[in-house]
Chain A
Amino acid sequence: MCSEKMILKHPMSVRIFHYLLIVSFLPLAVTGLILYFKLFSGESMNLTMQIHVLAGVLLTLDAVAFFLIGFERVVLFVKRVFTISVNDVKWFAVLGGYPQKLLLRKKVPVPPMGKYNSGQKLFGICVLIGGTLLVGTGWILWAFPHNTPRETVALMGTLHTVFGILLTIFLPVHLFLGIYMFDDFKAMILHGRIPYDEAREQSPLWVEKEVIPLNK
């Protein structure tokens, strides 16, 4: 236990949702690449596909459960990622200060951000739309390719590939930055809490407008 003040950034429901995302999406991405590039054949390819489907079903259950149980969090998330302003453009102009911090060890001024910075909002939109499409197209490709019109299935296949590759490329970025920002890492992966001072520096608008002291 530490003496600094903590904000509950990610409640338990969110963290469980995210754990299940990790467990399902990582196998999906790996098996997805194997399937797309046809790295195996025969029995191994069959096994790869079965893992892909199993993980996809798990992802579906996770998403549906969270949608039903944590609907207010979903609404909050949608509101946050789609609230865009000119600050987001300015953030991208300096790439959030990350390359400068990582490569040049220089600190540059960054416009004030809410709970999610501009990069996280972009990632959030990609995951929301891409993830939903991947799940939807995935089910049709797996369960209904024979009675859905072939043109439609072909479209589903294209969408599945495009968004699958998009998210798989974005994934290492998310993994790296998610671990690099170690306080946030602990918040999402461990206990859900982030130090108040850290939050005020990274997400000043969030702390200012949305964070309140816990009532006793």
Chain B
Amino acid sequence: MENKQYDYVENPFNVTRRQFMTIGGLIVALMVLPSLWVRSLVSNRSRYILARTKGLYRDDEKAKIRVSHANRAVAGYYRDFGGKPLGELSEALLHTKYINRTHGLAG
């Protein structure tokens, strides 16, 4: 439009260079810090899973017997009652059949 729309302006030197750096730096820091925090939370989110996993592997390491076929109680079960794996009693008690459930679903 015309040259003289207004007669006064804000002094551009209101904020000194030092003030500008300080305030600007604070603003940026306050924006960046929370995002760093959230990022570390996201990347650590599986920590509890790894902790529980480690717990079980530790239980394995300190076990005196570490293979299923050496479990004396299991051997005792077969000897005193169960027979042998895949035997008749096992088929009845320890094995099962599955069901096709898709007849109910539309697809």
A interface residues with partner B (beta carbon < 8 Å): 5-8, 71-72, 74-76, 78-79, 132, 136, 140, 144, 147-149, 152, 191-193, 196, 209-214
| Interchain CB contact under 8 A, A210 and B19 | no
Residue from A7, A76, A212 within 8 A of B15 (CB atoms) = A76
> Complex Cα distance A214/B9, Å?
6
> Complex Cα distance A7/B19, Å?
24
| Interchain CB contact under 8 A, A147 and B11 | no
- In the bound complex, residues from chain B placing their C-beta under 8 Å from that of A210 are 10-11, 14
- In the bound complex, residues from chain A placing their C-beta under 8 Å from that of B65 are none
| Interchain CB contact under 8 A, B31 and A132 | yes
Minimum Cβ distance to chain A for residue B37 (Å): 9
| Interchain CB contact under 8 A, A7 and B23 | no
Residue from A5, A6, A152, A193 within 8 A of B41 (CB atoms) = A152
| Interchain CB contact under 8 A, B42 and A7 | no
The chain B residue sitting closest to A7, CB to CB, is: B8
| Interchain CB contact under 8 A, A152 and B38 | yes
Minimum Cβ distance to chain A for residue B100 (Å): 32
Q: Does B85 count as interface, using CB distance less than 8 angstroms? A: no
Q: Does B35 count as interface, using CB distance less than 8 angstroms? A: yes
| Interchain CB contact under 8 A, A75 and B20 | yes
Among B8, B9, B27, B35, the one with the most A-chain Cβ atoms within 10 Å of its Cβ is B8
The chain B residue sitting closest to A152, CB to CB, is: B41
